[in-house]
Amino acid sequence: MTTLPSPATQSAPPPPGSMPTFAVISGAQVQQALAGRERQIVDLVETTYRLHGAGDSVNPPSYFLRFPDRPTDRIIALPASIGGSVRVDGLKWISSFPGNVSAGLPRASAVLILNDPDTGYPLACLESSIISATRTAASAALAADWLTRTRTRPTRVGFFGAGLIARYIHSFLVGTGWAFDSIGVHDLSADSTAGFCGYLRQSPSPGQVTVHDTAEDLIRSSDLVVFATVAGTPHVTDPAWFRHHPVVLHISLRDLAPQVLLASANYVDDVEHCLKADTSPHLAEQATGNRDFLDGTLNDVMTGRSTPPADRPVIFSPFGLGVLDLAVGKYVYDEAARAGHLHLIDDFFHELRRYG
Ligand SMILES: NC(=O)c1ccc[n+]([C@@H]2O[C@H](COP(=O)([O-])OP(=O)(O)OC[C@H]3O[C@@H](n4cnc5c(N)ncnc54)[C@H](O)[C@@H]3O)[C@@H](O)[C@H]2O)c1
């Protein structure tokens, strides 16, 4: 004889405490959770790169939604899962509409969905332009640290492109102990230049701020060069500009011509990710037919498998991994929960009994 479970058992709601909840976390809350935590976030990003390098992550290729009638705009989906002590799944959905800037709005906007790895239920939706800029800047500061350990620490930084990402990278460098004698700025837009210089002059001990009218001047006078433009194709082509062997944080990925990469040591965050979507490393691979120009990943440097040279330019081109957004997003979620500030949406999950 087969005993059927009672209908009451089949349709019972989950026991109290295990009901899924859903929170919405605003940009103001994100900023509050991250303010002044540069060092913790850089450590978290390092941990996440190490987990990813050890294979404790799933990070499929990003999906680029493009529009034939709006070629400069795009929205990118980055699904990912990260293990270790972070342990969360999710999706970042980030738009880039460069025309926003002239209308007074930031170029990028984003949301991040965190999913519970035990049930798959979405836990939260977070405003994520701040999380994205934060993880990008933390990764840049981490790379600046590791890639300069074999040389004299740079004191002359140059920002090539002076938008929101440049500002975040500067504040993460300073927030993790960097001090600069001089800060160079080069941007095609006078407004961006003025805005960024205004921000720099208000920051504590900014050093000498110099606007460079030419790209060559900026690069030749900087030992640490940060590319944060929105250029879609390479516009810096002369390897001779890098003869003084700077460390280059090539955050915007498409500024440097293949010959500049081929004359340098090259590090990426993830090889398969970065050699896609017409990034400069992707163009270098197409130009040479191989990946011999790559020296490794940042994780290879952190684990001692590769040592950045001091007698060549060193270029870091990070594609930007969804696992970093998840790690920073989960940090923000945990901080908001700990402070009792989670805005839960009542009745968000409404169909929780299988048979009604
Ligand atoms: N690799 C990553 O993980 C990652 C993450 C986030 C953003 N990014 C990239 O960072 C870049 C900057 O983002 P943002 O939000 O600061 O953009 P933004 O629009 O705020 O600023 C970009 C600035 O670059 C300037 N610029 C454009 N072309 C230039 C050129 N040829 N020479 C000099 N200046 C030039 C613009 O005038 C503008 O001021 C974007 O390309 C974005 O895709 C990369």
User: Ligand 1 center to residue 49 CA distance, Å?
Assistant: 23
pLDDT category at 109 given cuts 50, 70, 90 is: very high
State the CB neighbour count (10 A cutoff) for residue 225: 28
Nearest CA to ligand 1 atom 17: 163
Of the chain, the end-to-end C-alpha distance in Å amounts to 27
Is the pLDDT reported for residue 151 higher than 90?
A: yes
* Three-class HEC string of 278-323: CCHHHHHHHHHCCCCCEEEEHHHHHCCCCCCCCCCCEEEECCCCHH
Give residue 253 CA to ligand 1 midpoint distance, Å. Answer: 10
The answer to whether the CB of 164 is under 6 A from ligand 1 is yes
Which residue's CA is the closest to the ligand 1 atom numbered 21? 163
Q: How far is the CA of 267 from the centre of ligand 1 (A)?
A: 20
d(CA 260, CA 263): 5
DSSP 267: E
CB 131 within 8 A of CB 168: no
pLDDT over 90 (residue 18): no
pLDDT category, 206, cuts 50, 70, 90? confident
User: For the purposes of burial, counting CB atoms within 10 Å of the CB of 310, is it exposed (0-12), middle (13-18) or buried (19 or more)?
Assistant: middle
| pLDDT per residue as tens digits for the range 324-348 | 999 999 999 999 999 999 999 999 9
Please give the average per-residue pLDDT across 218-241, as a whole number: 97
Give yes or no for residue 211 CB within 6 A of ligand 1.
no
Burial pattern 5-35, b for ≥16 Cβ within 10 A else e, equals eeeeeeeeeeeeeeeebbbebeeebbeebbe
Residue 1: band (very low, low, confident or very high) from pLDDT cuts 50, 70, 90: low
pLDDT band at 15 (very low <50, low <70, confident <90, very high): low
Q: What is the pLDDT of residue 13?
A: 59
**Residue of 97, 100, 165, 188 to mutate, ligand 1, most atoms within 8 A of C-beta:** 165
The arithmetic mean of pLDDT across residues 139-156, rounded, is 98
> What does the pLDDT read at residue 12?
60
Q: Please tell me the predicted confidence (pLDDT) of residue 239.
A: 98
The strand pairing partners of 82, in sequence order, are 57, 88
pLDDT at 312 exceeding the cut of 80: yes
Q: Encode pLDDT of 250-260 as tens digits.
A: 999 999 999 99
Residues in contact with 44: Cβ distance below 8 Å, sequence separation at least 6, in sequence order: 86, 138, 327, 328, 331
Q: What is the pLDDT of residue 143?
A: 98
CA of 242 to the centre of ligand 1 (A): 21
In sequence order, the 6+-apart residues with CB closer than 8 A to the CB of 76 are 62, 63, 64, 65, 92, 93, 94, 96
Which sign, positive or negative, has the C-alpha torsion 116, 120, 122, 128?
positive
Q: Does residue 241 have a pLDDT over 80?
A: yes
- Binned at pLDDT 50, 70 and 90, residue 11 comes out as low
Segment 138-159 shows an average pLDDT of 98
Question: Which atom of ligand 1 has the smallest separation from the CA of 107?
Answer: 19
pLDDT 10s digits, 30-48: 999 999 999 999 999 999 9
Confirm or reject: Cβ of 105 under 6 Å from ligand 1: no
Note the pLDDT of residue 16: 60
CB atoms within 10 A of CB 356: 5
- pLDDT at position 118 over 90: yes
Nearest CA owner, ligand 1 atom 43: 252
Give the CA angle between residues 143, 144, 145 to the nearest 5°.
90
Mean pLDDT of the chain: 95
- Is there an atom of ligand 1 within 6 Å of 108 CB? yes
Count other C-beta atoms under 10 Å from residue 120's C-beta.
9
pLDDT greater than 90 at residue 4:
no
162 Cβ contact partners less than 8 Å away, ≥ 6 residues apart: 185, 186, 187, 189, 192, 193, 195, 196, 197, 228
Residue 5 has pLDDT above 60, yes or no: no
Residue 75 has pLDDT above 70, yes or no: yes
- Tell the residue nearest (CA) to atom 38 of ligand 1: 163
Which residue's C-alpha comes closest to atom 37 of ligand 1?
189
The per-residue pLDDT for range 56-65, each reduced to its tens digit, is: 999 999 999 9
Ligand 1 mean position to 1 CA, how many Å? 70
pLDDT tens-digit map of 176-192: 999 999 999 999 999 99
The yes-or-no verdict on residue 10 having pLDDT over 80 is no
Residue 17 has pLDDT above 90, yes or no: no
